[in-house]
Structure 1
């Protein structure tokens, strides 16, 4: 069987060839010579393809721009189930692009990034991993991904493992015809529990009282309290190196998590980097 060439594969993907259900390039010398160009062609071909179920690009010198193009294309694809990109030169940018793809793609069940030299010695970084966690947790939440093939040494790995276990259980329940509403984030609805019985009647009476309509449950209005001058609430701040920095609510929440997650001995050293980055310009 003749070896599949990148341009031929891209053309058949674009033509939506029903016989092409898998595209695989493993240590492909032709692909290696122009990996960015061929990755872009494959991305354009697979974007609207309805037959190819897996894409494998292994040991092909694939770099971040090519992987990002493929991830962007898969946002529109509803057929491809496996995306395997091991042993290339991919880093956090590629993982971030895949995470963004998974926010809208509910077809991919497995992706692989094992052995990528561009991942800073195997460390993908908190930012890209956080994006992946957000894609899985939602809203709306990805429940199709059940397997990731890589080696991960990061404190956030337990969250990803937890989401994978959740998705595997959802898949098992669906196959058995069982209810998944308690696990599927896309089926959970925000809102307060509706009162019933006497509580509902009392609430209904309050509503009609506010509308100034006759109601047997109307309550007497409580005497108005004497108006008092309310002191303005001081916005949250951070003291560092003799300076005071004003924090937004998001920054305040981040600092609480940051302080709880780092060793006390390293807090001040790491704090300097934060002040020079996301707190820059917030000095009072």
Structure 2
């Protein structure tokens, strides 16, 4: 690991100031990806600004059907939240299958979506739930936030502070896990609301998380696993790597979508 300088931010404002003073700084919120890449010398930030101890970035609140989760809230806290489980159990189920206990107790929802790993779970949930990503300067719809592999609409120095969404009528998540990393080789989050059905896919797209209009149309007409039988998932644009080919992932999208609907 290259030499770096560690800073524990006391507030969002303090974090922004420390970042502006840093040469090539990085925000740290869990570090499940960043620390690993630093250990492999694939990342060389001059400074790490730790956001995990900022009180205003933690916590879960449910007001009616509106859910707000602070960015520094860990996966374990989401997984164990009775408040979220009461209105959107699909999200607690998703959090329960992220990585292993160590990852779930260190990793945060804000860190996950800000990193936007193409195989991460939360981006699919945020996109399917039509969530709003709240930063220290604005609010961004999930559909505008995720812009590509490891890419988001965040500007330099901008910090994710929370996410907010209205709980759907029904929702479900299913993923085919890599047996070593537990990342999603393909994961599908399905959400049904009064406005329609949204289906988001992670782990399969060559450009990161995406919505599948064919699956959405089929489920809008008949919200059942059987309705997906005639839907075609094009392998074009899907990932092909040492873990699975594009054709295999195309099949997994349908299989995981059927399981997600069954879970819903």
Classify the TM-score, shorter chain.
under 0.3
**TM norm structure 1:** 0.23
Higher relative contact order (CA 8 A, sep 6+): 2
* Higher percent of residues as strand: 2
**TM norm structure 2:** 0.25
Q: Whose Rg is larger? A: 1
